[in-house]
Chains A and B, each alone.
Chain A
Amino acid sequence: MTARSALTAASAFAIVPLAYAAQRCVEVGLGGELDPALVPPSPRIALFWRVGVSLVLAAGSTGPFYRLAERSPALALRVAEALAALAFGLLVAQAVFAP
């Protein structure tokens, strides 16, 4: 594995928790899940749906990240750092503030 492809994969992996947490924030903003104590468990499995969407977004971002890592590794590294920091912040924020 080259440094470029590893950096690309690291950036793409940072998209997964970022997209996941962003979906949670949107869900909470829209009113969240129906009361789980009152309704029977939904056949739609929200966890897998969110993970699936996050993985698709991460896979779609690998091309641009690879080109960025090819053109400017320093900038690509900065982007990976920023994405990871944002993903961590958003994950913790949704855990603290969302139900």
Chain B
Amino acid sequence: MTDELVLRLLARLHGHAGWLAVAALLHPVIVLRSPMRRARGAAWASTLLVSAVAGLGAGLYPSYRALLKQAIFQQNPTVGWWFERKEHLAVGAVTFAWIGLLCHLAAARADSTSQKRLAALAHRAYAAAFFLALSVATIGTIAAANRSF
């Protein structure tokens, strides 16, 4: 397999897994609305999935920068700048998912006063991660439709 084919496959995988991660992040947003609800499996799975997708994106980033970035900016600067935004928002999506997971785990061990606030913070963090991941996936799809490996 050529390098170009590998890059193309990884980029497709990144895109599809990205939308899966968005769907996975919606699960804790829904179930953690109730502060007493425990959803460790959903929290772990969605956080690990969004982290893996971001890791794959970070792995593709040097190739994007070397092979595509300049051409995208020459052809369609708006898409280029949106792609830059996507990377910044992706950092937020991953970190907010981890904040949500940690607060959800902490809530199970906290005293009753802190428990409700930790649960609320976990829910808000997952909601933020979902919103950011949805933005990232949407921008990524638009950018990929414009130009890809």
Contacts and interface: CB of A to CB of B under 8 A. Distances in A.
B147 to A, nearest CB: 13
Interface residues of A, number: 38
Given A10-B103, A13-B102, A74-B114, A37 B70 contact: yes
Contacts, number: 113
A23 B41 CA distance: 34
Given A3-B106, A16-B91, A20-B88, A88 B96 contact: yes
Interface string B95-134: 1101100110111011101100110010011001000100
Nearest to A36: B73
A57 interface: no
Interface in A9-66: 9-10, 13-14, 16-17, 20-21, 24, 33, 35-37, 40-41, 45, 47-48, 50-51, 54
A84 B62 contact: no
Most buried by A among B77, B109, B124: B109
Given A37-B74, A47-B87, A81 B66 contact: no
Contacts of A17: 91-92, 95-96
Interface in B47-70: 58, 61-62, 65-66, 69-70
A94 B110 CA distance: 35
A11 to B, nearest CB: 9
Interface stretch (B2-10, B28-36, B78-86): B78-86
B89 interface: yes
B62 A10 contact: no
Contacts of A47: 58, 61, 87
Interface of B: 58, 61-62, 65-66, 69-70, 73-74, 77, 80-81, 84-85, 87-89, 91-92, 95-96, 98-99, 102-103, 105-107, 109-111, 113-114, 117-118, 121, 124-125, 128, 132, 135
5 contacts: A16-B91, A17-B96, A51-B91, A84-B124, A99-B81
Q: Which 10 A-B pairs have the closest CB atoms?
A: A6-B106, A37-B73, A10-B102, A3-B109, A36-B73, A3-B110, A91-B92, A17-B92, A16-B95, A3-B106
